[in-house]
Structure 1
Amino acid sequence: MDLDLVGKRAFVSGSTQGIGYAIAEALLAEGATVVVNGRSEDRVAAAVRKLEAAVPGAAVSGIPADFEDAEQVRRLLGSLGEVDILVNNVGVFGVDAFEEISDDDWQRYFDVNVMSGVRLSRHELPHMLARGWGRIIFISSESGVNVPADMTHYGMTKAGMIAVGNGLAKLTRGTDVTVNTILGGPTYSDGVAQAVEEISQARGQSVDSMKSAIATANQTSLLQRFIEPVEIARLATYLASPVSSATNGAALRADGGILTTTL
């Protein structure tokens, strides 16, 4: 299927690795121009070089910015310009006992996971509405629906992303602008891979056996394995394209069947 993305310009936050990188690569492969983002100039430059090698002829550039730093975000918005596709992917996550999560931790999770998308969308949505076409995609998680007890701060922010996306979609009535959210499941991103490697070393087990054990421990998973970043990227690329025009205000699941509800 031709997703008709040639000539479209996209920005993907948090895209030097993991899901964000996979989305950037998938958009480039479809002919879009992509601006990637990471916390440092070195990480952004490395991602740009890697993407240029992976997709010959790709039109890719990068803007470094740490979404914990409001001043860096302001500079990013000042240099980004208008985009046709905005993918709000950047995020932090961790496993912490509720009583040990400080106020600063709660604020950091909210600033990075929720306010990043708010600030970027506030900057780009008016331009999309003025042009009459655009795509905003929030990369949330099934944890925003089924909030983990040991990741309450993370789940709260992912629920917030779902709410923001749904609210913004209501502003697009009668236009060809859409706002949708992806509920990803446990994905074998770079951070998860590192954690699995550390656990496997500590327990004296192979990475593959530990990876399988962790993935199959979730009794509601239908996939019974980790999701690969490219599997999330495929759905994001579809939602970014003109062919997804009838999908708006939705929270679409790419969770491997972990959520047990039908809606």
Structure 2
Amino acid sequence: MSLGDDQDGSGGYGGTGQTRTHLPGGTTDVYGGARRSGRSSSRSLVTVVGVIVLLIAAIAFANRGGDDSASSEVGAGGQPRATSTAASGTKPVRSTPGVIPAGYAHDAQGAQSAAANYSVALGAAGMFDKTQRDATLQAIIAPSRLAEFQSSLDTAYTPAFSKSIGLNDDGSTPAGYTFVSRTNPIGTKVTESSQNDMTVEVWCSGLLGMAGENSTNPVTSSWFTVTMKLEWTAGDWKIVTQSQKEGPTPVPGDDTASSADEMAKAVDEYGGFTYAR
């Protein structure tokens, strides 16, 4: 058979205008598929093996134990390393429902967990009640600074302040409404450290307001950073000083605000978290 025997009368195969040529080991694809060689298959095998090796290495790296020191959490330019928020394998902080967690590790990780949990406690609705506030301060403030914190916050949580956000003068919630006050830690960073002293910044989002059909103080969100100086005392981290500043604040999204009933239901049904790494 000649090369031209596979053509139709139009000068091409099947009207494509192309000539089909049968060659040893070649393809019969009329669109000219490339030949596959043993060398190409070998390269493919090497590529697959290489990917598997990289995956195994990545998994091993992700699961390895982290260094608990503050210095190991800081990378180039003072930026946190990616592993700074990875699970450490350290035994979690002791926690009982309704009780502020205690028993933190005596290291940078423990100080960050303490600061995050203490931010939650200081931003809770119970802070507007004198009895609950004093119990909270007793649990998280260094004994040497307790009286100062109590006096300062008693001055801040006045009847006028309670009334300004929709509460009764004594800090209680009016009938038919749900008071919302929550702080949600987003991340933590150690800025100063020594064996028994740590300064930790906690980036937070917060919710504050009154959920109710006729509320004039609807629940709103905010973003802020809490800075705490902690000291190791009586076998745990306790607050020595605390301050707060606005931001960093992201650009608001296009989410539709929920109704007062939906917000009140969410607060009742969704409990808070204990932050420990």
Larger Rg: 2
Confirm or deny a common fold (TM above 0.5).
Answer: no
Name the structure with the higher helix share.
1
TM-score, normalisation: structure 1: 0.28
Please, what TM-score do these two structures have when normalized by structure 2? 0.27
Structure having the higher strand fraction is 2
